[in-house]
Amino acid sequence: MTTSEKFVHMAIAVLLFYGVMAAILLLTQRLRSRRGERVQAAAFLGPSLLLIGVGLLYPAGVTVYQSLFGAATFDPPFVGFDNYTSLFTNSQQLTVLRNTLLWVLLTPTIATAIGLVYAVLVDRAAFEKFAKALLFLPMAISMVGASIIWKFVYDYKSGDSTQIGLLNQILSWLGFDTYNFLLESPWNTLFLIVILIWVQAGFAMTILSASIKAIPEDMVEAARLDGTGPWQMFRHITIPSIRPSLIVVLTTITIATLKVFDIVQTATGGNFDTSVLAYEFYRQNFVAGNQGLSATIAVVIFILVVPIVIYNIRQMRKLEAR
């Protein structure tokens, strides 16, 4: 299909969409009763619900169904919950789960803590804009780009070879032995986590800094007049005031962490026991050809993400109700 044909098809689809919406308006504009309002609401919600069903619910159901079958490419056997059992009992998969747990526990908390402390320290400072730009700069870099940068930072040369990795060169200057940062497990996973923290700390700082500036000045001045010190101000004024933003930042980074793939793929390719759930899904589906286990991993990721999303929505509703 040529570019012009694609453009024509897209134009036809757009015109068809507007035609359907116009028809709905014409058919429902004369319905002024309560029943008519329900028909009109159903007419508008129907296409959206249809798209949700086709684009979200149906694929989710198919994924759950595929997770109950084995690894054969053609006519895979029904294995029930064996894939789930394997995911939580196989030593290799347990390593994947351990790594994912480390990512989820460390990345959101450390990135948010760094962003919060940084936002408080540079707030209203003379160099505030410059300091914030420095921490936010990694956000402008793709995950692959950030991984390549840090791969050079961690680079290791054996023997008496000249070290091009920043960290190993510093170790050489200080007289210490060089170290292969991406080889030994589980430390290599921690070094990979540093990359995502480096990227996400700027996001946390930006959101939390805006929340800190939104704290009413009269509240801050009243606390200072009462003799409140910096630590008490941070603990009793700043933290409670920005709590909704803290929740949003933590949950957002947690969801991003559960889906991390680029860093593992670029830095280690999942080798040396560094694989996580999102990368293992890719490896099982596209490398090993085990669609049953890959579907199982997708279901587990979905189950882990849903409570976080629900909690985030509930907190936002509570904030709007105030």
pTM for this entry? 0.82
Place of tokens 């919060």: 116
pLDDT digits (tens, 9 = 90+) for 96-106: 999 999 999 99
Alpha-carbon span 47 to 66, nearest angstrom = 27
**More confidently predicted of 227 and 133:** 133
Q: Are 297 and 83 in contact (CB under 8 A)?
A: no
**What pLDDT, on a 0 to 100 scale, did the predictor assign at position 265?**
93
Q: Is 82 left (phi over 0), alpha (psi -120 to 50) or beta?
A: alpha
pLDDT band at 17; cut points 50, 70, 90: low
Taking the C-alpha atoms of 79, 84, 86 and 87 in order, what is their torsion angle to the nearest 10 degrees?
150
Alpha-carbon span 172 to 190, nearest angstrom = 22
User: For residue 241, what are the CA distances in angstroms to 82, 174, 252?
Assistant: 48, 45, 19
Top-ranked range on mean pLDDT: pick from 9-23, 142-156, 208-222: 142-156
User: For residue 195, what are the CA distances in angstroms to 163, 201, 253?
Assistant: 21, 10, 13
**What pLDDT, on a 0 to 100 scale, did the predictor assign at position 78?**
86
